Structure 1
Amino acid sequence: MSLESEQRLATYDYSLDPSLIAAAPVASRDQSRLLVYHRKKETTEHRLFSALPEYLRPSDLLILNDTRVIPARLQVRKPSGGLIELLLLRPVSAGGVVWEAMVRGKVAVSTTLTLAGGGSARVARDLGEGRKEICFDLPEGYSDLNAYLERWGEMPLPPYIVKKRGGKGDPGDLTDDRARYQTVYARVPGSAAAPTAGLHFTEALLEEVRQKGIRIARVTLHIGTGTFQPMRGEQLSDHEMHREWFQIPAETAEAIAATRRAGGKVVAVGTTATRALESAARPDGIVEPGEGETVLFITPGYRFKVIDGLITNFHLPKSTLLVLVSAFAGCEPIRSVYEEAVRERYRFYSYGDAMLIM
Structure 2
Amino acid sequence: MRGNYLYSCLTAVVLLVSSVLGATVEQFAAEVAKSGHNIIQLTDSNYKKWLGGTHKVPRGANVLALFTTTALEFGCQTCLKFEAEYDALVQSWFNDHPGGVSKEDPEKALFFVKVSVMKPGQIPNAFKYFNLEHIPKLLFFPAGGRIDDYQSLDLPQEEGTMRVTYLITALKGAIGISDYQLYVPTDWSSIGVTMFAVFALVYLVRKHYAFLGTLLASRALWAVCSVAFIILMISGYMFNKIRGVPLAGSGPHGEVVYILENEFQSQYGIETQILAVFYGLLAALVVGLSMGIPKLNNYYQRRSDGTFIVAVASIVLAVAVYMFFAAYTNVYSTKQGGYPFKLFKVSALF
Bin of the TM-score, shorter chain as denominator length = under 0.3
Is the radius of gyration larger for structure 1 or structure 2?
A: 2
Q: TM-score, normalised by structure 1?
A: 0.21
Structure with the bigger percentage of helix: 2
Q: TM-score, normalised by structure 2?
A: 0.22
